[in-house]
């Protein structure tokens, strides 16, 4: 497999910050390693769309394990269960899953708390909420 070039990454940055089709929006972050392909043109392109670039610290091998775990969760819990026909459909699946992952899914590594840090009520009627037609489910409590 060929390695990405700086010109290719600049084009990816342009595509992802496109106002209509782009995935990255104002206030987003792009975390990257220290490879030279993430040069000034790449960073300037993202900065123009108000996307912040964050360079990983040197010699930080454990960071990759966390990213790989999130990617594995996305693939196993969602993408492996769909036949995806378009980029729009993929974007929708990823948006829904990321919202579920951060706001609704308890994480064992966080003592079954949510990534967002929000905690639900401990009393009240339990309700089930869903995303993606019921493929993603979570439960919370409502007053009354």
The pLDDT tens digits of the residues spanning 59-102 come to 777 777 777 888 888 888 888 888 889 988 888 888 888 888 88
pTM value > 0.95:
no
**Listed residue (70, 13, 21) closest to 43, CA to CA:** 13
CA distance 36 to 55: 11
Q: What is the pLDDT of residue 21?
A: 67
Are 34 and 56 in contact by the 8 Å Cβ rule? The answer is yes
């Amino acid at each position: 497999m060929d390695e990405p070039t700086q010109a290719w990454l600049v084009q990816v940055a342009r595509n992802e910050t496109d106002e209509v089709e782009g995935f990255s929006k104002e206030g987003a972050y792009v975390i990257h390693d220290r490879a030279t392909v993430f040069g000034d043109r790449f960073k300037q392109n993202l900065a123009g769309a108000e996307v912040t670039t964050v360079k990983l610290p040197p010699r930080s091998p454990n960071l990759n394990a966390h990213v790989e775990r999130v990617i594995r969760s996305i693939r196993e819990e969602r993408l492996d269960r769909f036949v995806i026909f378009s980029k729009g459909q993929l974007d929708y699946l990823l948006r829904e899953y990321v919202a579920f992952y951060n706001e609704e899914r308890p994480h064992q590594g966080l003592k079954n708390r949510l990534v967002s840090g929000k905690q639900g009520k401990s009393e009240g009627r339990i309700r089930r909420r869903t995303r993606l037609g019921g493929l993603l489910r979570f439960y919370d409590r409502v007053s009354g």
